Amino acid sequence: MYSARTPLTQTISLALAAAVLILTAACQRLPAGAPSVPESSVPKSGVPGPGLPETVVIPAGPFFAGSDSAERETGYRLDEAAYGHSVTRQNGWYDRERPRGEQTLPAFAITKTTITNQQYAAFVAETGHRAPDVTPGTWRGYGLIHPYERTRRHAWDDGSPPAGRAQHPVVLVSHADALAYAAWLSRKTGMTWRLPSELEWEKAARGADGRLFPWGDDFDQSRLNSHDQGPFDTLPVGRFPEGQSPYGLLDAAGQVFEWTSSPGNTGRYLVKGGSWDDKGCGVCRPAARHARPENLKHILIGFRLVRDL
């Protein structure tokens, strides 16, 4: 089993950690026009300052990405057992996954959970960026199975998140909205934040050994927010610590799909992770992938961010 601990985190001294906390606290809630804190003074360990998204460090090195025929067959069988039909198999959903093989990436940090409504609200309040919502006409134009009325529990009111959902993942955000938040957070902190590539997301979600799910090779519906156990809705982030990846990433299966920086076909970007709407959950495997239109604002799609180390 690949260890979630890294030499980097093991070697940070208590003295350095104390200094880091002071520096990260100082870089929060900067007033307009204030100088940003240089990245060299920000912790590389994943320890956040107040208001910063918490991150986990993904070490440099090789890992297994993608799937082979046996894993794809497992995904199809999970779906068939959950839904009682073979639609995903008939449509070849998992046949388009990256062929299983070894990849290598440099080290990076990734937010431990998806960005929450509360975190996104600070961006909306400061920049005046459009709040997460969608019109009835736009929603109908997507041709999705969910009725428009279901979007209302996720939509914001007068620039504020829905009541009681501050710690839920932000949804109804397009790919461009996610990029705008990343650019704002970069300006605020002096660090460079961005959407993860498909490979970065996959390594963070499944570790180096190519396991089928973040926690191992066997599907366990108690380890994620999926339609298998309900509640058929988003939940506050981090509710399933037993479903974490080897690096400590949370909610990488179920909860919401997540935008990546990796393009699909024209005008689309790959999303990863599965959602609260899915059963089975073949699509919740980190190797699973599909592309969505970049302008789509879906109740099933949120995002998390990475920064280079």
Residue-wise pLDDT for 224-267, tens only, equals 999 999 899 999 999 999 999 999 999 999 999 999 999 999 99
Token digits for 103?
Answer: 């990849």
- Within-domain flag for 91: yes
Number of domains in the chain: 1
Token digits for 230?
Answer: 């309900």
Chain-centroid distance of CA 229 in Å reads: 21
- Within-domain flag for 85: yes
Residue 132 is predicted with a pLDDT of 98
Among 26, 32, 305, 302, CA closest to 187 = 32
Q: What are phi and psi of 82, to 5 degrees?
A: -80, -40
State yes or no: pLDDT of 46 exceeds 50.
no
- Within-domain flag for 172: yes
Residue 26 is predicted with a pLDDT of 35
Mean pLDDT, rounded, for 281-308: 97
Tokens 């200094």 locate to: 19
- 109-131: pLDDT as tens digits: 999 999 999 999 999 999 999 99
Tokens 């100082």 locate to: 26
Mean pLDDT, rounded, for 270-296: 97
80-95 burial, b at 16+ Cβ within 10 Å, e below that, comes to bebeeeeebbeeebbe
- Within-domain flag for 10: no
- 171-214: pLDDT as tens digits: 999 999 999 999 999 999 999 999 999 999 999 999 999 999 99
Residue 285 is predicted with a pLDDT of 98
DSSP letter at 4 equals S
Residue 270 is predicted with a pLDDT of 98
Q: DSSP readout, 231-298?
A: -SS---TT--GGG--TT---S-SBS-EEEEEEE-STTEEEEES--TT--S-GGGSTT--EEEETT---
- Within-domain flag for 105: yes
Residue 51 is predicted with a pLDDT of 63
- Within-domain flag for 1: no
For helices 117-127 and 175-189, angle between their N-to-C axes, nearest 10 degrees? 80
Q: Side chain identity at 62, as an amino acid letter?
A: P
Mean pLDDT, rounded, for 5-17: 35
State yes or no: pLDDT of 23 exceeds 90.
no
Whole-angstrom Cα Rg for the chain:
19
Residue 52 is predicted with a pLDDT of 83
pTM of the model: 0.84
Range of the domain at 164: 52-308
Output the domain CATH number for residue 147. 3.90.1580.10
Among 146, 112, 117, CA closest to 245 = 112
Residue 49 is predicted with a pLDDT of 44
Q: What are phi and psi of 184, to 5 degrees?
A: -65, -45
Q: DSSP readout, 91-143?
A: TTTTTTSPBPEEEEE--EEEESSPPBHHHHHHHHHHH-PPPS---HHHHHHHT
State yes or no: pLDDT of 298 exceeds 70.
yes
- 136-183: pLDDT as tens digits: 999 999 999 999 999 999 999 999 999 999 999 999 999 999 999 999
- 70-105: pLDDT as tens digits: 999 999 999 999 999 999 999 999 999 999 999 999
Residue 230 is predicted with a pLDDT of 85
Among 80, 20, 104, CA closest to 55 = 20
- Within-domain flag for 26: no
- Within-domain flag for 45: no
Virtual torsion, Cα 179, 180, 184, 189, nearest 10 deg? -10
| pLDDT class of 32 with cuts at 50, 70, 90 | very low
Token digits for 95?
Answer: 């046949």
| pLDDT class of 47 with cuts at 50, 70, 90 | very low
